[in-house]
Structure 1
Amino acid sequence: MKKYFVSSAGRLRLYAFLEGVSLLVLVFIAMPVKYLMQDPTWVQVIGPIHGALFLLFVFGAITVGVEEKWKFWRTTWIVLLASFIPFGTFYIDWKILRHLQQPA
């Protein structure tokens, strides 16, 4: 677990996981409860948490993009776009981010 806190790439992987989970909870639990049961409580609780995690993910992705010298329109943009798609951050973590932490 310590490996997720010692580098920007590790923190981005942690942000990606948390942001992805919060998006799934918001889309697949909170929103149906709000509209099917007329109870907005879940959205009022999860929404701001997801928003904060989303901002952490965006700032983390830009930071890692600059550190890794990613091409903005090729890699950074794809990583940022993944945060709008359910399960997108998990795919990006598996496809791109996990390779950043492998020992040299």
Structure 2
Amino acid sequence: MSASTQQRYGLPLVARVSIVAAFLEAFTWAGLLAGMFLKYVTGTTDVGVSIFGALHGGMFLIYLAIALITAITLRWPWRVTALSIIAAVPPLTTIPLEIWLRRRGHLSC
């Protein structure tokens, strides 16, 4: 990426892709949780679980791949890499992680 492109957007492309993946992973988690509520608590429908279950499963794998690519590209310490992988497991944790990564400077070159 050229210096002018990075200045224009503020972050390298891999960092921006990582942020989008984190938000999509959290969004699909939220959808899956809502679907589980509808299925198990209200007993109304299981459509949300079937739709968001598949979406979240795919997004989870995509997020993990992007986290590893970002870690290698931006040369993260192993602890930051491990934290980014672990953050995909609890619901909605990838968003606070990405905020922390940005504040600590781990998303810049």
**TM-score (normalizing by structure 2):** 0.79
Residue of structure 2 equivalent to 1:58: 64
**Secondary structure of the residue that 2:15 maps to in structure 1?**
helix
**Secondary structure of the residue that 1:9 maps to in structure 2?**
helix
Number of equivalenced pairs: 99
- The answer on whether the counterparts of 2:31 and 2:48 sit within 8 Å (CA) in structure 1 is no
Q: Distance in 1 between matches of 2:102 and 2:31?
A: 23
- Superposed CA RMSD in Å reads 2.4
**Secondary structure of the residue that 1:96 maps to in structure 2?**
helix
Matched, 1:88 2:93: yes
Please, which runs of 5 or more residues in structure 2 have no aligned partner?
1-8
Identity of aligned residues (%): 25
Q: Any idea what the Cα deviations from partners look like across 1:55-77, whole Å, max 9, x if unmatched?
A: 111000000111111222x1111
Residue of structure 2 equivalent to 1:10: 16
**Secondary structure of the residue that 2:91 maps to in structure 1?**
coil
1:26 aligned residue (4, 28, 32): 32
Q: Distance in 2 between matches of 1:82 and 1:58?
A: 10
The residue type paired with residue 79 of structure 1 is: S
Alignment of 1:74-85 (within 5 A): 74-85=79-90
User: Residue 92 and residue 10 in structure 1: after superposition, are their counterparts in 2 closer, same or farther (change >3 A)?
Assistant: same
Q: Distance in 2 between matches of 1:45 and 1:24?
A: 12
CA positional deviation for 1:97: 4.0
Q: Distance in 2 between matches of 1:54 and 1:85?
A: 11
- The answer on whether the counterparts of 1:13 and 1:97 sit within 8 Å (CA) in structure 2 is no
Please, which runs of 5 or more residues in structure 1 have no aligned partner?
none
Q: Distance in 2 between matches of 1:21 and 1:91?
A: 13
**TM-score (normalizing by structure 1):** 0.82
